[in-house]
């Protein structure tokens, strides 16, 4: 897409409404996130219908505010990128319907984006490194819903090489935090309590320990911690809780590092590693990755680890670039395809592909 520069990204797949304006795929001009965490808190989890209605309430003012902060007008936008899936259907529909209407009214291309793939681009926001120094790369998306390892030949080529056979890594952090009576979201709480704890205090089992296997597994680790907690004789002291957190965290993150180390061995052509998603915020993970793997490692800035729209706009930019002429997105647009829920792992829509 010649001359494509400024993309509006919109995200509404779960409990965050987000809007961002990104220039050239990595320069963030504005990035706003309206979190619904407090709204869902009384229910102990995200209520899909409540999420969808809240997206509907805030999406338009949020987009207007993002444009204001970026200092651009609708006419300055080159395209609109929207999270198409995976996510809560009602929540996704609000964003998709809004983005469709906006793109149609403006006569600008609408670019449907896979949310999980987009996370990877969170690691490259603000990064000024030539593509040839990054790709091929090994990209790990490690969040509350996914533990996916990809080999990427370019910013838009994703080949899934491994994922979790049971729970996601972040999900395991959340469940272990709950077992220990810590708050939500659990990952950050575990990291905080792990500081000062002894990583060797509670020997943890090593899941899928065979080097030949790249898949991840976390449900056994969660069950192990549940058994440790149940076997405690007295109420858990702060020091003991720190030890359990530290030991658990070291193994949960250690698994990621071991698998990535093996992937680097198997894919020697990789020039970098990218780590993204909520768990990428973990400082110990960053430390372990950097000390174990010699390749340049990129992590998102803290505000781009969790769900945001800057990553949606960034990935939208690369999809549009890869697809060529921007106008073909609109001319060949299969508007119904943009409303389809989840287009499956490793498959991207291209203009007119439906
Ligand atoms: O990407 P994200 O914001 O949401 C999705 O799951 O899509 O990831 C949230 C996950 C939660 O499971 C949370 O516990 C985990 O990321 N997380 C962390 C940390 N901060 C967030 N896990 C470990 N250490 C952290 N510092
Ligand atoms: Zn996410």
Higher per-residue pLDDT: 192 or 350: 192
pLDDT of residue 157: 95
| Nearest C-alpha neighbor of 8 from the set 101, 83, 80 | 80
pLDDT tens digits along 148-185: 999 999 999 999 999 999 999 999 999 999 999 998 77
Q: What percent of the chain has pLDDT over 70?
A: 90
Backbone angles phi, psi at 174, to 5 degrees: -65, -40
Ligand 1 contact via 174 beta carbon (within 6 Å): yes
Ligand 1 contact via 187 beta carbon (within 6 Å): yes
Flag whether pLDDT at 334 surpasses 70. Answer: no
Determine the atom of ligand 1 nearest the C-alpha atom of 174.
14
Mutate to test the pocket of ligand 1, among 11, 187, 245 (most ligand atoms within 8 A of CB): 187
Determine the atom of ligand 1 nearest the C-alpha atom of 146.
6
Ligand 1 contact via 282 beta carbon (within 6 Å): yes
Flag whether pLDDT at 327 surpasses 60. Answer: no
Backbone angles phi, psi at 83, to 5 degrees: -65, 120
What is the distance between the alpha carbons of residues 204 and 33, in angstroms, rounded to a whole number?
37
233 alpha carbon to ligand 1 midpoint, in Å? 31
Flag whether pLDDT at 4 surpasses 90. Answer: no
Ligand 1 contact via 122 beta carbon (within 6 Å): no
Flag whether pLDDT at 63 surpasses 60. Answer: yes
117 alpha carbon to ligand 2 midpoint, in Å? 9
pLDDT tens digits along 122-146: 999 999 999 999 999 999 999 999 9
pLDDT tens digits along 275-300: 999 999 999 999 999 999 999 999 99
| Nearest C-alpha neighbor of 123 from the set 281, 321, 288, 284 | 281
pLDDT tens digits along 67-99: 999 999 999 999 999 999 899 999 999 999 999
Ligand 1 contact via 85 beta carbon (within 6 Å): no
Higher per-residue pLDDT: 32 or 352: 32
Mean pLDDT score, 176-198: 93
17 alpha carbon to ligand 2 midpoint, in Å? 12
Ligand 1 contact via 306 beta carbon (within 6 Å): yes
Confidence tier at 330 by pLDDT (50, 70, 90): low
And the tokens for 293?
Answer: 């793997």
Q: Which residues contact 201 (CB under 8 A, 6 or more apart)?
A: 243, 244, 246, 247
Flag whether pLDDT at 12 surpasses 50. Answer: yes
pLDDT of residue 335: 65
Q: How many CB atoms lie within 10 A of CB 29?
A: 19
Which residues are in the CB-under-5-Å shell of ion ligand 2? 307
Ligand 1 contact via 144 beta carbon (within 6 Å): yes
Ligand 1 contact via 143 beta carbon (within 6 Å): yes
Determine the atom of ligand 1 nearest the C-alpha atom of 13.
7
Q: Which domains does the chain have, with CATH numbers?
A: 6-123+304-332 (3.30.420.40), 135-300 (3.30.420.40)
Mean pLDDT score, 196-218: 94
What is the distance between the alpha carbons of residues 84 and 337, in angstroms, rounded to a whole number?
9
Mutate to test the pocket of ligand 1, among 91, 143, 189, 283 (most ligand atoms within 8 A of CB): 143
Flag whether pLDDT at 349 surpasses 80. Answer: no
pLDDT of residue 350: 44
- Centroid of chain to Cα 347: 17
Ligand 1 contact via 86 beta carbon (within 6 Å): no
Mutate to test the pocket of ligand 1, among 306, 309, 312 (most ligand atoms within 8 A of CB): 306
Flag whether pLDDT at 226 surpasses 70. Answer: yes
pLDDT of residue 42: 85
245 alpha carbon to ligand 2 midpoint, in Å? 24
- Centroid of chain to Cα 278: 6
């Amino acid at each position: 897409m010649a001359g494509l520069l400024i993309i509006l990204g919109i995200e509404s797949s779960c409990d965050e409404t987000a809007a961002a304006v990104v220039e050239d795929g990595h320069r963030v001009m504005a990035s706003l996130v309206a979190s619904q965490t407090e709204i869902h808190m009384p229910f102990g989890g995200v209520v899909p219908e409540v999420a969808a209605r809240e997206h509907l309430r805030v999406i338009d003012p949020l987009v207007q505010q993002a444009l204001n902060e970026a200092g651009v007008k609708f006419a300055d936008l080159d395209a609109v990128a929207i999270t198409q899936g995976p996510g809560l259907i009602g929540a996704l529909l609000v964003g998709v319907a809004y983005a469709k209407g906006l793109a149609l009214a403006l006569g600008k291309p609408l670019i449907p984006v896979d949310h999980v793939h987009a996370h990877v681009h969170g690691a490259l926001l603000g990064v000024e490194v030539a593509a040839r120094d990054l790709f091929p790369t090994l990209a790990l998306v490690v969040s509350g819903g996914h533990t996916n390892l990809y080999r990427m030949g370019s910013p838009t080529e994703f080949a899934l090489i491994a994922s979790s056979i049971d729970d996601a890594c972040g999900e395991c952090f959340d469940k272990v935090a709950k077992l220990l009576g810590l708050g939500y979201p659990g990952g950050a709480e575990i990291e905080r309590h792990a500081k000062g704890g002894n990583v060797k205090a509670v020997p943890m089992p090593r899941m899928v320990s065979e080097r030949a296997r790249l898949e991840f597994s976390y449900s056994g680790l969660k069950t192990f911690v549940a058994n440790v907690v149940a076997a405690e004789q007295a109420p858990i002291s702060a020091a003991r809780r720190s030890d359990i957190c530290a030991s658990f965290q070291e193994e949960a993150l250690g698994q990621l590092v071991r698998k990535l180390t093996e992937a680097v061995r198997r894919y020697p052509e990789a020039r970098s590693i990218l780590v993204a998603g909520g768990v990428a915020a973990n400082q110990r993970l960053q430390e372990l990755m950097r000390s174990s793997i010699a390749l340049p490692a990129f992590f998102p800035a803290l505000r781009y680890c969790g769900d945001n729209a800057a990553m949606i706009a960034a990935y939208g930019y690369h999809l549009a670039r890869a697809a060529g002429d921007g106008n073909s997105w609109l001319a060949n647009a299969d508007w119904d395809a943009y409303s389809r829920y989840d287009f499956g792992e490793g498959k991207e829509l291209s203009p007119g592909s439906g």
